[in-house]
Amino acid sequence: MTKREAVDVKVDAMIEDLRTLVEVESPSRDLDALTESAKTVAEVIENRLGGHAVLIASEAGPHVHWSAGGDPRVLILGHHDTVFPLGTLARRPFAVADGHATGPGVFDMLGGLVQAVHGLAALDDLSGVEILVTADEEVGSRSSRALIEERARACGAVLVFEGAADGGGVKTGRKGCGTFDVTITGRASHAGLEPEAGINALVEAAHQVLAIAALGRPDIGTTVTPTVASAGTLDNVVPAEATVVVDVRVESAEEKERIEAAFAALTPRLAGAQITVQGGVGRPPMPESAAAGLFAMARQLIPGLEGRAVGGGSDGNFTAALGVPTLDGLGAVGGGAHADHEYVVVEAMAERANLVTGLVRAIRHAGGTF
């Protein structure tokens, strides 16, 4: 891309682009909605940065990829899917009041996307910069993971625009996270006439829930939390099947292996019961070492900027696990991710956009040494 005249970051323009993105609803797995959202993201990028944003089809919806050309140097990473179902916008429209921008997806993570684009627009040379905005981060990134990893390896540095940590800090580490689905199969029988003829899947599930919960080691950052369970069909039938969904978070690869092995080794307590397990720790831990160099650059730009390790996962987990320098939480300052009170602090938007500008300059100047 040819040199471009530097432009100032204007908050009013960012607010208008944020409105544009929020008002195209984009719930995960809704392919029609995600297609419209991807087109809108591409238009915002092209309007501010020039060039052509490519929509990459996938079973989860279109991913958006934009490149300024030249040797890849830095990947700007985000997602355009949200957790909110169609119709949320009618109930909770985009608004700006009392210093906050609100609406579905403003914090997670449309505000971050807007800040990234406007921060890049303030650069006079964008060669080596790529943007990847995926369609399935909120549901595990199964269709986008290979693409994310490919572009991360090619670029050599990744800036992730998920919402900032509490207080406006960036995210220098993340736990690995995953979901396990445990299915218990028993045998139905009449609960009054011959309960002994059945194999009570609910009772077996109760044993397993206690055993599963005991796998947690919060002292070293491992949490194992049964979250959803179901069993039975009628009040006079011994349950023939039960299911338990378990959320897992780990801070190390060793704990990932221990937990996955423990789930594979679950053993029934009741004679004749059977257990099947699906799932795993799909996002590997993001070690703080992966962010160290980029975080040092960020602190040069904003002295006193805090870095925090957090429990939630992002696509930065994948890139950091490859050994690619990755800094996360560069997006909007605000809060309420996935909740009705989700918001972005408008006053912080310009500073965060300027942080993008400075980081990209520093990465290019460092020549891959950071």
Over residues 82-86, mean pLDDT? 97
Q: Which pLDDT does position 219 carry in this prediction?
A: 97
Q: Which pLDDT does position 8 carry in this prediction?
A: 67
Secondary structure class of 171 (helix, strand, coil): strand
Closest by Cα among 129, 102, 149, 104 to 48: 129
pLDDT in tens, 310-321: 988 999 999 999
Q: Which pLDDT does position 149 carry in this prediction?
A: 98
Residue 232 has pLDDT above 60, yes or no: yes
> What is d(CA 272, CA 360) in angstroms, rounded to the nearest whole number?
60
Specify whether the CB–CB gap between 310 and 225 falls below 8 A.
no
pLDDT in tens, 184-199: 999 999 999 999 999 9
Specify whether the CB–CB gap between 224 and 212 falls below 8 A.
yes
Q: How confident is the model at residue 65 (pLDDT cuts 50, 70, 90)?
A: very high
Q: How confident is the model at residue 205 (pLDDT cuts 50, 70, 90)?
A: very high
pLDDT in tens, 101-114: 999 999 999 999 99
Specify whether the CB–CB gap between 208 and 275 falls below 8 A.
yes
Q: Mean pLDDT across the chain, nearest whole number?
A: 96
For residue 146, give every residue at least 6 positions away whose Cβ sits within 8 Å of its Cβ, in sequence order, or none. none
Residue 365 has pLDDT above 90, yes or no: no
